């Protein structure tokens, strides 16, 4: 019932927008991609994996015209706290950072964790760490967009 109501009130694009935090940059996708490792280091995120998605789908016979990079990043302390008390949250881990071209602009995006983090509010230490992580991730994204 609730699912039908939500679907009726929020069309697909609205749902995606509601759960996405994004920044638009005038920098090139390559310019942003070249800085991800350095900014992860600066903001104390481990860069676990990089996917050049445009190359992956092309290798499977489905080329796309835009560049799409997806990064899996992590802060181990918060991940440890989350997995200790809320292992179901693991489907949202590690944090994803996407960089792609759209309408001549570079988009830097991630999941907007603000709604999801309310689920862990019962654990003050975890909640505060997770809120801090999201704040730091947004700062990292802003830095990627501007520098």
Per the document, the length of the chain is 147
pLDDT per residue as tens digits for the range 76-122: 999 999 899 889 888 888 999 999 999 999 999 999 988 888 888 88
Q: Taking the CB of residue 38, how many other CB atoms lie within 10 A of it? A: 13
What's the rounded Cα separation, in Å, for the pair 93 and 97? 11
Q: What are the backbone angles phi and psi of residue 135, rounded to the nearest 5°?
A: -60, -45
Q: Is the pLDDT of residue 8 over 70?
A: no
What's the rounded Cα separation, in Å, for the pair 48 and 76? 11
pLDDT at 63 (0 to 100): 95
pLDDT at 88 (0 to 100): 87
Would you say domain 22-146 falls under CATH 3.40.309.10? no
Q: Return the domain boundaries, the chain.
A: 22-146
Decide which of 20 and 5 is more confident: 20
Average pLDDT over residues 133-142: 96
């Amino acid at each position: 019932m609730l699912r039908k109501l939500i679907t009726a009130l929020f069309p697909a694009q609205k749902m995606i927008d509601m759960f996405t935090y994004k920044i638009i940059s005038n920098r090139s996708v390559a310019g942003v991609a070249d800085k991800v490792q350095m900014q992860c280091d600066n903001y104390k995120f481990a860069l676990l994996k990089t996917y050049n998605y445009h190359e992956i789908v092309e290798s499977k016979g489905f080329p796309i015209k835009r560049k799409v990079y997806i990064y899996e990043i992590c802060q181990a302390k918060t991940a440890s706290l989350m997995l200790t008390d809320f292992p179901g949250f693991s489907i949202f881990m590690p944090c994803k950072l996407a960089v792609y071209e759209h309408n001549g602009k570079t988009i830097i995006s991630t999941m907007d964790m603000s709604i999801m983090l309310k689920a862990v509010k019962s654990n003050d230490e975890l909640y505060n760490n997770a809120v801090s992580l999201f704040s730091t991730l947004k700062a990292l994204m802003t830095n990627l967009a501007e520098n």
